Structure 1
Amino acid sequence: MAKFVAMAEQLIELNVTGMHCNNCAMSIHKLLEKKGLHNILVDFAGEEVKFSTDDESKLPEVIKGIENLGFKVIDDINLHSPAFYELVENKFIFCAAFTAPLLLHMLLPWHFLHQPIVQLLLCIPVFIVGCLHFGKSAWSSVKGGVPNMDVLIFIGSTSAFIYSLVGTIQGLGAQYQFYETCATIITLVLLGNVFEKRSVTQTTSAVKDLIKIQQVNANRIVNGVIEVISAKDVRPGDTLVVNQGDKVPVDGEILSGNVSVDEAMLTGESIPVEKDKYDKVIGGTIVINGNFHMLATKVGSNTILSQIIDLMKKAQAAKPPVQKLGDKVASIFVPAVILIALLTFVLTYFAAGLGIQKSLMNAIAVLVISCPCAMGLATPTAVMVGLGRAAKNGILIKGGDTIEAVANTKYVVFDKTGTLTTGKFTINEIKAEVGADVELIRGIITAIEERSNHPIARSLVQEIKSMSQQKVILKSVQEEKGLGMRAEDVNGNHYFLGTAKQNTQDHFNLSLFKNQSLLAQIAIDDEIKPETALLISKLKKMNIIPVLLSGDKQNRCLKVASQIGITEVHSEKLPDEKLKVIDIYKQKGKTIMIGDGINDAPALTKADVGVSMNDASQVAIQSASVVLLNTDLHSVIKFLQISKHTLLTIKQNLFWAFAYNIIAIPVAAFGFLNPMVGAFAMAFSDVVVIGNSLRLKVKKVS
């Protein structure tokens, strides 16, 4: 029954505006949990909410619940144009126009500005905007069970306004006039929100840049006539014309023509790639030279670019363990600050006897100086910038939690074939058994290996195609992880081609069996990637131990290891044996596994972090936490460096957010901080945290 329900569940995606920090996201997350929804993902920066449900009839109720929290659910974020009065920039300008004269009365000798009724009239428009902006959000967050920063701002500004209003009505004099405090708190916090909004927009620029790449036109051929359509309207099987300078609209295969394509947006590699007939092209890449006809094969959400965008969105929302501390503190922070503010008032008024004016100002200063938003922004902003920088370097990290997982890495375990080596193989020798026909052997090898995506298989087929061979028609072919290929021909003969452990001469690494009898032995060799030795050297300088883990023969593994400087070698390992090796290393320290084949998939999943090459098997890519879109192994070092500096940025942000509040709250409580200065400092703390995250965009990470 559980299985049936899981299959029936639908993934719902909503565009939600009005979220401006992690506390907002937490209140929506808590609401969705209460409604029994699953796989909840709330991305405040991307303005997206995702969840799974087996009952779509709940959707209107869920949307109503989100909007009751003070947020807005819209159809298309790209087409949404908020009303003039909803824009935080316009609210700030409006409030600043009324707050400026209120502040000027302290500097200019204009007597009419000192009149209580004039100050009241100037403050009321600002206070109304503050009530609508902060009051609505504050009440919604309290109802949602996660009080946010707006609760503090609303209480602080309202306290100053009511205190001043009572003084004006009762004619108690200038010492009761703090309208400028109320207005300034609201205006400065709105200014902070403007900075925050613009900064958060910058942190999500990597995803938005990728989305822009998708928004292109396509030239579709219909009955010999070219029609221009949007890329999102292309369907599988359409024939498209792509000209020099165009972006390839969708994924597909070249039908005719040869071109140079810039794939830097996908791989980070600036050198154009030459493409010919039947080669695959990827949507979003740019045609540098030439033009071609193509067949659309993957469109919409199935394109590689769409999958990368989706993975990045999920990654940005995946919380590293270090964020849990910030979330936990932020959730109890607001009630704690309100309690401290009340204690401040009580102690300064009743115990210290400083009077109601001074006591109230100290309590208000405590409220407005506090900033749980800085704690909420500390991690997600750094993660978003780090993931974006990695993506621009051809490194696709599938989760923000992966960044923390690579901290203090002790071992990097490499597969050999296609990872440390090029994966392009040459046949050194085919040794046929007595009486066996070499042309038949070549035909069997070609027929079997054409059905496999393994680098060895592709290379063998490519090389044997130029040799004479006898055609063999197969009825079925099955790949066995880490062993090889089994096949049956139309005459009922059974074949096995692979690296099964048997007594063969050392330099032969593949064996072909027919009906369980050895038919031939094949000696193949591949070349080591030119940058591999330098990579191993750099890892050692970072105090990381490189390890070779392969299913290939021991003498070949030792040969490769000695050439590139690896001393720890595990050879002739099947997938389940690779798992055991990874488990041993994990017990000794943090372990990264880098591989590319189906036989590596279990080990990639088992390791603390699995890294797959872009040209790897689909299973390996799905099993890995990181995909290197650029086959250059230096991406491994870049990944480690970006992860290290992203984690460092998160820790710096959290330190600033915590230290700021630990210092600022007592200073405000003891009366050394004016509420207006407190409001400015609070807004500034958000800017510091986001600014530090944005620094990661250009920071030298080597």
Structure 2
Amino acid sequence: MPEAEKSEKKMRVQLRGMTCASCALKIENQLNKLPGVKQATVNFNLENAFIEYNPNMTGFEKFNAAIEDIGYKSNLARIELQIDSLKSEEDARAIQNILAGQAGIHEIYVNFTAQVANVEFNPEEIEPKRIKQHIKRLGFEATERVSAIDTEQMEREKEVRRQKIKYFFALILTIPIATVNILLHFNVFSSFSANAIFFIKVLLFALTIPVIFYSGTQFFIGAYRALRNKTANMDVLVAMSVAVSFIYSSLTTFTPLPGAVFYEAAAMILTFILLGKYLEAIAKGRTSEAIKKLMGLQATDALVIRDEKEVRIPIDEVQVGDIVISKPSEKIPVDGIIIEGKTNLDESMLTGESRLVKKTIGDPVIGATINKTGLIKFETSKVGKDTVLSQIIKLVQDAQSQKAPIQRLADRVAGIFVPIVLLIALLTLNLWLFVGQIAFEDALLAMTSVIVIACPCAMGLAIPTAIMVGTGRGAESGLLIKGGESLEAANKLDAIVFDKTGTLTKGKPEVTDIISETLGDDEILRLAASAEKGSDHPLADAIITSANKRGLPLTDPKDFEELNGKGIVAEVDGRIIRIG
């Protein structure tokens, strides 16, 4: 392998503070400028950056500094471990020292009093399983209190709650602001005295302030960061439109400047944008659901032979070469090769086929498939990230992080879109003022409308959202999509070949019709189900399930014989039953 390739590493960094797709593009450009970075891709929906880099030239400290320079925050994956039997500060320091020396671990803090370790690590370089193994070598047991994916999910749930509070706070105040301001515009208060009108305007001013300076703070902070870095994003447009409406209305309220007030414009702009932010936060909070469902297919523990004894251990502790025992109805915990026994496996989670697959000595077994009938022993061949299921999960994660070719075009357009919108808005103001010769307040309203309507979020958000949802929903349904490029190429397909079972069908047979010329439906179903009690065929399960649903009494068959490739023969209640 060439030296350059050997020195390349990958890192997945979590990002905080992004408010729109323009922010993601800004961070991506900043990272790609760093020496030693081969390629950086930022996903706004997943709120992470996937970076390929040369560790001899750069690393997380430089990535973090570059991200902070433009006003955003970053961190690596985090897990919280419960460590039993810590007796002293020396034990805590020993754990810190051994973990600090491992590649991929960025930061480690062990709290001796709470018996807890918090670890920040690069998931592309080291797994939580390996971290726990290092701790175990020192004689301590470590269990995950909060996993990396749960930590990420909790952060997203916290963001959903924050946006929800801000939105509903703004909405509660915006309703009376908009109602009163509209009544003002239609001269409903024309009979009121000047002092009363002034009081109404002051009241609107007072109600608008918390909407702007509490609910709308994030947009002004985002705009400040963007302008400080000599860029313009959606926050600049929102902040400008709100500021123009509010400042102009404040001047007409507290100075002799004539004109109407537009407090409702400032409040309603923020409320509608906050609704979008709230819905966006909910969508982001669901991005890891497909991954979590795939992870949920894994067994949590395994029965292994250690020192000639059967011991049940967490799946993370299973090692290559371990002898694993699998009993009927259990999930196969990891990939391996059968060394004793035979069974039938349900591999539908992998293949979509409902028919059981016969396995005997020398045959491979795949983790997360289900052992249906027999007791087997197998030697572990793959564990952790090397198993088939882990590779599927990794494929889905990578697919969600990839950019489609059309998204790169959208990113370039979004990068210059905001300055163009601002120029058009200024042109609109001047044209209405000097050519249309309308009142300044009406021209100002036209300019504000251009800024608000032209919000560029949809351009940068639509494509990554489509990729995220498409790959996630596909994974849940057993369809693996390699990424945005594959999705985009699907547009050119003119023929699709399906594997029918488990794809176009449920993948699980069931009885739909019973046709008989001599016996009643229940009787023929009872006889068939009783005979099938000796079979493990999927069609037998379907017949027995149908009989059980009808509450039919089944009897055990006699002289049961399975004719390979043909069917079965058995005696039930003195009758010879042939099914095939």
TM over 0.5: yes
* Residue 125, structure 1, aligned to residue 223, structure 2: no
Name the counterpart of 1:159.
Answer: 244
Name the counterpart of 2:442.
Answer: 358
RCO comparison, higher one (Cα < 8 Å, 6+): 1
Deviations 1:70-93 (A, max 9, x none): 443233352243457973222212
Task: Tell whether the 8 Å contact from 1:394 to 1:635 is kept in structure 2 after alignment.
Answer: no
User: Which of 255, 261, 265 is 1:177 aligned to?
Assistant: 261
Q: CA deviation at 1:335?
A: 0.9
Give the partner amino acid of 2:150.
N
TM-score (norm 2): 0.63
When residues 239 and 329 of structure 1 are mapped into structure 2, their CA distance, relative to the original with a 3 A threshold, is same
Task: Tell whether the 8 Å contact from 1:334 to 1:372 is kept in structure 2 after alignment.
Answer: yes
1:69-80 equivalences in 2 (<5 Å): 69-74=70-75, 75-76=77-78, 77-80=149-152
User: Which of 168, 178, 188 is 2:253 aligned to?
Assistant: 168
User: Which of 281, 295, 308 is 1:197 aligned to?
Assistant: 281
Rounded to whole Å, the distance in 1 between the matches of 2:305 and 2:198 is 72
Name the counterpart of 1:44.
Answer: 44
SS in 2 for 1:319: coil
When residues 409 and 102 of structure 1 are mapped into structure 2, their CA distance, relative to the original with a 3 A threshold, is closer
SS in 2 for 1:55: coil
1:446-465 equivalences in 2 (<5 Å): none
Task: Tell whether the 8 Å contact from 1:70 to 1:136 is kept in structure 2 after alignment.
Answer: no
Q: CA deviation at 1:302?
A: 1.3
SS in 1 for 2:151: coil
Give the partner amino acid of 1:61.
K
Give the partner amino acid of 1:373.
C
Rounded to whole Å, the distance in 2 between the matches of 1:113 and 1:231 is 71
Deviations 1:505-542 (A, max 9, x none): xxxxxxxxxxxxxxxxxxxxxxxxxxxxxxxxxx5xx8
Give the partner amino acid of 2:171.
A
Give the partner amino acid of 1:50.
F
When residues 181 and 54 of structure 1 are mapped into structure 2, their CA distance, relative to the original with a 3 A threshold, is same
1:89-488 equivalences in 2 (<5 Å): 89-106=164-181, 115-142=200-227, 147-170=232-255, 172=257, 175-202=259-286, 205-214=289-298, 216-223=300-307, 228-392=312-476, 394-408=478-492
Task: Tell whether the 8 Å contact from 1:259 to 1:275 is kept in structure 2 after alignment.
Answer: yes
Task: Tell whether the 8 Å contact from 2:202 to 2:253 is kept in structure 1 after alignment.
Answer: yes
Give the partner amino acid of 2:232.
P
Rounded to whole Å, the distance in 1 between the matches of 2:67 and 2:11 is 14
Name the counterpart of 1:26.
Answer: 25
Task: Tell whether the 8 Å contact from 2:46 to 2:284 is kept in structure 1 after alignment.
Answer: no
When residues 254 and 146 of structure 1 are mapped into structure 2, their CA distance, relative to the original with a 3 A threshold, is farther
Give the partner amino acid of 1:78.
D
Task: Tell whether the 8 Å contact from 1:203 to 1:381 is kept in structure 2 after alignment.
Answer: no
Name the counterpart of 2:5.
Answer: 6
Rounded to whole Å, the distance in 2 between the matches of 1:243 and 1:145 is 64
SS in 2 for 1:213: coil
SS in 1 for 2:463: helix
Give the paired residue count.
419
Name the counterpart of 2:67.
Answer: 66
Give the partner amino acid of 1:148.
N
Q: Percent identity of the aligned residues?
A: 35
Q: CA deviation at 1:160?
A: 1.4
Name the counterpart of 2:14.
Answer: 15
TM-score (norm 1): 0.53
Q: CA deviation at 1:159?
A: 1.4
When residues 265 and 138 of structure 1 are mapped into structure 2, their CA distance, relative to the original with a 3 A threshold, is farther
Rounded to whole Å, the distance in 1 between the matches of 2:229 and 2:381 is 46
Give the partner amino acid of 1:27.
K
Rounded to whole Å, the distance in 2 between the matches of 1:247 and 1:16 is 36
Deviations 1:250-306 (A, max 9, x none): 222334444443333322333343333333222233444455444332222212222
Rounded to whole Å, the distance in 2 between the matches of 1:305 and 1:153 is 44
* Residue 87, structure 1, aligned to residue 86, structure 2: no
Task: Tell whether the 8 Å contact from 2:299 to 2:331 is kept in structure 1 after alignment.
Answer: no
Task: Tell whether the 8 Å contact from 1:147 to 1:335 is kept in structure 2 after alignment.
Answer: yes
Task: Tell whether the 8 Å contact from 2:319 to 2:380 is kept in structure 1 after alignment.
Answer: yes
Task: Tell whether the 8 Å contact from 2:166 to 2:215 is kept in structure 1 after alignment.
Answer: no
Give the partner amino acid of 1:105.
V
Task: Tell whether the 8 Å contact from 1:284 to 1:305 is kept in structure 2 after alignment.
Answer: yes
Q: CA deviation at 1:307?
A: 1.7
Name the counterpart of 2:116.
Answer: none
Task: Tell whether the 8 Å contact from 2:43 to 2:401 is kept in structure 1 after alignment.
Answer: yes
Deviations 1:210-232 (A, max 9, x none): 23434834444444555554433
When residues 203 and 353 of structure 1 are mapped into structure 2, their CA distance, relative to the original with a 3 A threshold, is same
Q: Which blocks of at least 5 consecutive residues in structure 1 are unaligned?
A: 411-538, 543-627, 639-702
Rounded to whole Å, the distance in 2 between the matches of 1:85 and 1:394 is 29
Task: Tell whether the 8 Å contact from 2:302 to 2:315 is kept in structure 1 after alignment.
Answer: yes
Give the partner amino acid of 1:120.
F
Give the partner amino acid of 2:385.
S
Deviations 1:417-475 (A, max 9, x none): xxxxxxxxxxxxxxxxxxxxxxxxxxxxxxxxxxxxxxxxxxxxxxxxxxxxxxxxxxx
Rounded to whole Å, the distance in 1 between the matches of 2:20 and 2:447 is 25
Name the counterpart of 2:526.
Answer: none
When residues 166 and 390 of structure 1 are mapped into structure 2, their CA distance, relative to the original with a 3 A threshold, is same
SS in 1 for 2:297: helix
Rounded to whole Å, the distance in 1 between the matches of 2:383 and 2:49 is 24
Rounded to whole Å, the distance in 2 between the matches of 1:179 and 1:253 is 72
SS in 1 for 2:242: helix
When residues 339 and 16 of structure 1 are mapped into structure 2, their CA distance, relative to the original with a 3 A threshold, is same
When residues 41 and 287 of structure 1 are mapped into structure 2, their CA distance, relative to the original with a 3 A threshold, is farther
Give the partner amino acid of 1:101.
P
Deviations 1:94-148 (A, max 9, x none): 3223323322424788979962332222222221235531122233345566633
Give the partner amino acid of 2:380.
A
When residues 261 and 157 of structure 1 are mapped into structure 2, their CA distance, relative to the original with a 3 A threshold, is farther
Give the partner amino acid of 2:247.
I
Task: Tell whether the 8 Å contact from 1:315 to 1:397 is kept in structure 2 after alignment.
Answer: yes
Q: CA deviation at 1:349?
A: 1.9
Rounded to whole Å, the distance in 2 between the matches of 1:392 and 1:164 is 52
Rounded to whole Å, the distance in 1 between the matches of 2:313 and 2:286 is 31
Rounded to whole Å, the distance in 2 between the matches of 1:167 and 1:247 is 72
Rounded to whole Å, the distance in 2 between the matches of 1:268 and 1:147 is 49
Give the partner amino acid of 1:156.
S
Task: Tell whether the 8 Å contact from 1:210 to 1:309 is kept in structure 2 after alignment.
Answer: yes
SS in 2 for 1:46: coil
SS in 1 for 2:273: helix
When residues 352 and 63 of structure 1 are mapped into structure 2, their CA distance, relative to the original with a 3 A threshold, is same
Q: CA deviation at 1:342?
A: 0.9
Task: Tell whether the 8 Å contact from 2:170 to 2:211 is kept in structure 1 after alignment.
Answer: yes
Give the partner amino acid of 2:22.
N
Q: CA deviation at 1:370?
A: 1.3
Q: CA deviation at 1:191?
A: 0.6
SS in 2 for 1:252: strand
Q: CA deviation at 1:363?
A: 0.9
1:637-676 equivalences in 2 (<5 Å): none
Task: Tell whether the 8 Å contact from 1:319 to 1:401 is kept in structure 2 after alignment.
Answer: yes
Name the counterpart of 1:489.
Answer: none
Give the partner amino acid of 2:346.
D
Give the superposed CA RMSD.
Answer: 3.6
